[in-house]
Amino acid sequence: MHRLLLTATAAALIATPALAKDMLFWNQTTHELTSVQLAPPGTTKWGAEQTANDPDHAVSADERLKITGVAPGIYDVKVTPKGGKPCVVTGVEVKAAGKVAFAIAEKQLGGCK
């Protein structure tokens, strides 16, 4: 009986996919961002407001933000600095592996600030 239970438990563990690691966005700008949204490249089909995943609904400079509902791939990312205008950063690679899925740096904002 014990052998059957151990075999069933081992089979269940093997068949269960590994739990997905949280995907994180890293704000490498000097701005607090009040909006972060992703869209397929070249579209305006903006996804969910990712700052809703943060207790204060913003991402401070050098803060990481949990990203939900996004698969790895290439996206356009729209960010809005506090008190500023929305800025679209195109062709951002979102990765499933690594410490962060993607980051936006100050130089990527260009003249959008």
Question: Does any domain span residue 70?
Answer: yes
* Residue 12 domain flag: no
CATH code where residue 86 lies: 2.60.40
Q: Write the pLDDT tens digit of every residue in 62-97.
A: 999 999 999 999 999 999 999 999 999 999 999 998
Dig out the tokens for 42 from the structure: 């070249």
Quote the number of domains for the chain: 1
* 104 belongs to a structural domain: yes
The answer to the question of residue 57 being in a domain is yes
In a domain, 13, yes or no: no
Residue 27 lies in a domain: yes
The answer to the question of residue 14 being in a domain is: no
> Which pLDDT score, from 0 to 100, does residue 98 have?
86
Q: Is the pTM of this model over 0.85?
A: no
* Separation between Cα atoms, residue 32 and residue 106, nearest integer Å: 11
CB environment 80-100: b (16+ within 10 A), e (fewer): bbeeeeebebeebebeeeeee
Residue span of the structural domain in which 54 resides: 21-109
Domain-located, residue 46: yes
